[in-house]
Structure 1
Amino acid sequence: MRLFHLLQEIKAERSQVEHELRDYHEFWYSAEKKGYSGTALFTKKEPLSVTQGIGLPEHDTEGRVLTAEFPKHYLVNVYTPNSQRGLTRLDYRIKWNKLFLEHLKKLEKQKPVIFCGDLNVAHKENRTNAGFTDQEREGFSRIIDTFRHFNNQPNNYTWWSLIIAL
Structure 2
Amino acid sequence: MRVITFNCNGVRSAARKGFFEWLAQSNADVVCLQETKAQECQLEDPIFRPEGYHCFYFDAEKKGYAGTALFTRQKPLKIRRGTGFPIADTEGRYLQADFPSLSIASLYLPSGSSGPERQERKLAFMTHFEAHMRGLRRKRREAIICADWNICHKQIDLKNWRSNQKNSGFLPEERACRGQARAKNVGWRLDYQLITPGLRSSVLAAEIYTAQNFSDHAPVIIDYADLLSS
Q: TM-score, normalised by structure 1?
A: 0.79
Structure 1 residue 3 corresponds to structure 2 residue 29: yes
CA offsets 1:16-66 (integer angstroms, 9 cap, x no match): 123141010011000111111000001000000001000234641110111
- Structure 1 or 2, whichever has the larger Rg, is 2
- Larger RCO, structure (CA 8 Å, separation 6 or more): 2
Match of 1:91 in 2: 120
Structure 1 residue 30 corresponds to structure 2 residue 59: yes
Letter in 2 for 1:117: A
Q: Name the CA shift for 1:44/1:124 in 2 (closer, same or farther; >3 Å).
A: same
Residue pair 2:82, 2:88 contacting (<8 A) in 1 also: yes
Give how far 1:109 is off. Answer: 1.7
Q: Which structure 2 residue ranges, 5 or more long, are not aligned? A: 1-26, 156-160, 178-189, 208-215, 218-230
Match of 2:133 in 1: 104
SS in 1 for 2:90: coil
Separation (CA, whole Å) in 2 of partners of 1:150 and 1:28: 25
Give how far 1:88 is off. Answer: 4.1
Aligned length: 150
Give how far 1:124 is off. Answer: 2.4
SS in 2 for 1:66: strand
2:174 to 111, 120, 136: 136
Q: Which structure 1 residue ranges, 5 or more long, are not aligned? A: 152-159, 162-166
Letter in 1 for 2:173: Q
RMSD: 2.7
Q: TM-score, normalised by structure 2?
A: 0.59
Separation (CA, whole Å) in 2 of partners of 1:137 and 1:87: 17
